[in-house]
């Protein structure tokens, strides 16, 4: 396409200036100067059209629900950084915005965005058969609690052992129906930021979050007392992005994203992104994708997490 554009530009340029310096004759008659102006204008417009299309092809529009630090305001966050880096590797600019779930699904169906970064929530809204999924990151679900409100550590051996506890979950939690099927006392909460205050005040006994999200909430809102929080790791989570099957660009976007993800795994960019959020040398094994180049991860340290600057926290915070 670049070569084609260059040739068109050269042709238009030549025609435009030929009318200034050459007497042009055709079948014994002088061709009006205006003819070359029309040709020049036509090919210039073709060139601009091709350039505009090339630019449009190099941009992908994405959205996701606000769930820091995975998807944070302003198109920031762990998953956003991974998506941008992966698409950048294949010459595509990823524009990412955070929107409410239902609005994001409507935008996906209307073709206003190419992908939505919460595949399980999209499937719950419109059905799994209408979308294609691609994994972006890994983490683990966990239950967090505030130690001063309990006589000892909370031990969970399956969901049944959590009966009698009040558990806070974010609205649209993928585990909501599972909790209810086990008869657990569930309190739905609108934003992750509310969880810390509620668990500290004893309004809930535990809250469920991705491990990175729960730790990041503590680091933001009560970093000096991080050692007062306990957490119980639960099931693995795979963060996926959804693409609509009816969108004709979906196959090519998935192929490009797969290629980009493979490249950032091998060239070290993915490890650099993970360490921005987990801390240098502190990415836990469950968040370490296979084939990650340069990873030398032995064990995860809470102290290292809370004392190291990360993407959402800024300066280190020393325990009191």
pLDDT of residue 295: 59
**Quick one: pLDDT band at residue 191, thresholds 50, 70, 90?**
confident
For the beta carbon of residue 139, count every other beta carbon within 10 angstroms.
20
Q: Which of 229-233, 292-296, 313-317 has the lowest mean pLDDT?
A: 313-317
The proportion of the chain whose per-residue pLDDT surpasses 90, expressed as a percent, equals 65
Average pLDDT in the 48-76 region?
77
The reported pTM is 0.79
Other beta carbons within 10 Å of 220: 17
User: Residue 157: its pLDDT value, please?
Assistant: 84
Helix (H) or strand (E) holding 136: strand 131-146
Mean pLDDT of 66-94: 96
The per-residue pLDDT for 52 is 42
pLDDT of residue 36: 42
Least confident of 49-53, 120-124, 226-230: 49-53
Per-residue pLDDT band for 19 (boundaries 50, 70, 90) equals very low
**Does the structure show a pLDDT above 70 at 6?**
no
Q: How far is CA 162 from the centre of its chain?
A: 32
**Contact 143/167 with Cβ under 8 angstroms?**
yes
Buried (b) or exposed (e) across 251-269, using 16+ Cβ within 10 A? eebbebbeebbebbbeeeb
Reported confidence tier of residue 297, pLDDT bands at 50, 70, 90: low
Q: Percent of the chain beyond pLDDT 70?
A: 76
pLDDT for residue 319: 31
Task: Kindly state the average pLDDT of the residues 240-259.
Answer: 97
Task: Give CA–CA dist 73/64, Å, rounded.
Answer: 10
- Work out whether strand 93-98 and strand 59-64 pair parallel, antiparallel, or are unpaired: parallel
pLDDT band at 300 (very low <50, low <70, confident <90, very high): confident
Which residues are CB-contacts of 134 (< 8 A; sequence separation ≥ 6)?
Answer: 240, 241, 243, 254, 257, 258
Q: What was the pLDDT predicted at 195?
A: 92
59/191: higher pLDDT? 59
Q: Give SS3 for 8.
A: helix
Band (pLDDT 50/70/90 cuts) for residue 298 is low
């Amino acid at each position: 396409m670049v070569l084609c554009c260059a040739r068109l530009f050269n042709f238009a340029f030549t025609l435009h200036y030929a009318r200034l310096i050459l007497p042009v004759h055709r079948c014994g008659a002088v061709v009006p100067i205006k003819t070359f102006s029309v040709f020049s204008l036509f090919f210039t417009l073709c060139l601009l059209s091709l350039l505009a299309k090339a630019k449009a092809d190099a941009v992908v529009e994405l959205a996701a629900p606000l769930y820091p630090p995975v998807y944070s305001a302003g198109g920031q966050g762990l998953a956003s950084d991974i998506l941008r880096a992966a698409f950048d590797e294949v010459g595509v600019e990823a524009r990412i915005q955070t929107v409410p779930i239902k609005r994001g699904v409507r935008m996906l169906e209307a073709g206003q965005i190419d992908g939505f970064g919460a595949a399980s929530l999209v499937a719950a809204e419109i059905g799994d058969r209408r979308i294609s999924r691609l994994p972006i990151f890994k983490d683990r679900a966990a239950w967090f609690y505030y130690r001063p409100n309990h006589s000892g550590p909370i031990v969970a051996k399956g969901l049944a052992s959590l009966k009698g506890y009040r558990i806070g979950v974010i609205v649209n939690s993928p585990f909501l129906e599972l909790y209810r099927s086990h008869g657990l006392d569930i309190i739905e909460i609108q934003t992750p930021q509310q969880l810390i205050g509620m668990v500290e005040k004893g309004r809930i006994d535990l809250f469920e979050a991705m491990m990175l999200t729960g730790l990041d909430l503590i680091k933001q809102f009560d970093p000096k007392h991080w050692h007062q929080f306990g957490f119980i790791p639960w099931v693995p989570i795979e963060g996926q992005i959804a693409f609509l099957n009816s969108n004709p660009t979906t196959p090519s976007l998935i192929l490009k994203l797969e290629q980009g993800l493979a490249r950032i795994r091998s060239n070290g960019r993915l490890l650099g992104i993970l360490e921005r959020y987990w801390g240098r040398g502190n990415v836990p094994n469950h968040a370490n994708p296979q084939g990650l180049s340069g990873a030398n991860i032995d064990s995860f340290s809470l102290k290292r997490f809370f004392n190291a600057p990360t993407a959402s926290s800024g300066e280190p915070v020393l325990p009191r």
